[in-house]
A = this chain, B = another copy of it.
């Protein structure tokens, strides 16, 4: 293994000079700088990450905690991971990916051993068990998803309340007066998936305000149960003219369900989902949707985290809680209800 000592010898300087020449942390004569760079190239030198981490207390690695639950739709999670990973790399960080089901012990392991400079937690629940561990850790953390207690961390989430209102208002303006709302399965709620009830409660409240009948339901996240549940729902409420879908698996299953019943959007039913454009393209979903922006949220979390990692130790910025304003992407699946 070629070390900085080898580089120094080849360049005819001391190790400290070689180090400074590479880091640029002090003035170096042009001549020496060139000799060091030549030596680096000639020997194919790369600094040893472990040694550097030991000397600087920085690993330039971010821990990414993802959780894959049986009752959620895995493909939707992937996009958050990629959003985080791409931005981290752009900022010069690598990603330590942790997918263990026991997030607390995983978090304890990678923070206490100082494998990472900071943490991004995905899919954060209302009372997320991982947060106590994160707050006790020496490294800063950023969340995607809003917990009850946001203290000590930076938090990024879609504004699900506003999303619920936006969905209802959009269909209200078109003249709809009876709507169905399909949420994630109840397990997700029990586990503390706050985005489910935040969107739902806001939609219910807004519907009441607008004089709209809204029927909320929880629908499974796996086939074939999803399809059956959707079919039953449509049967139970034949007079409903609009469908709001806050459940990726249900959105993915919907085209088949509608087709089987000879329904199409927006002719027979107006449909608004809540998922990303990437998701829509992957699954060919023709429904207008609230953009969930997983890449943007992941990216925002990483940027905030890196700012905190690299900020001056004394000068602590206050923690932030940022909600992304929902935007409706029009894919033509809504219209005024047919006169019946």
Contact = CB atoms under 8 A, between A and B. Distances in A.
Contact count band on A: 35 or more
Contact of A255 (B64, B77, B256): B256
Contact of A53 (B50, B89, B227): B50
A14 to B, nearest CB: 21
Interface string A252-267: 1101100110000000
Interface in A30-60: 44, 46-54, 59
Contacts of A86: 99
A260 B113 CA distance: 56
A110 B97 contact: no
B85 A97 contact: yes
Contact of A54 (B51, B97, B253): B51
A81 B64 CA distance: 14
A256 B254 CA distance: 10
Contacts of A98: 85, 94-95
Nearest to A221: B282
Interface stretch (A67-75, A182-190, A203-211): A67-75
B115 A73 contact: no
Contact of A74 (B61, B78, B223, B260): B78
Contacts of A1: 114, 138
3 closest A-B pairs (Cβ-Cβ)? A223-B284, A50-B53, A46-B112
11 contacts: A48-B114, A49-B114, A50-B51, A75-B282, A94-B110, A223-B281, A223-B283, A223-B284, A224-B284, A256-B259, A259-B259
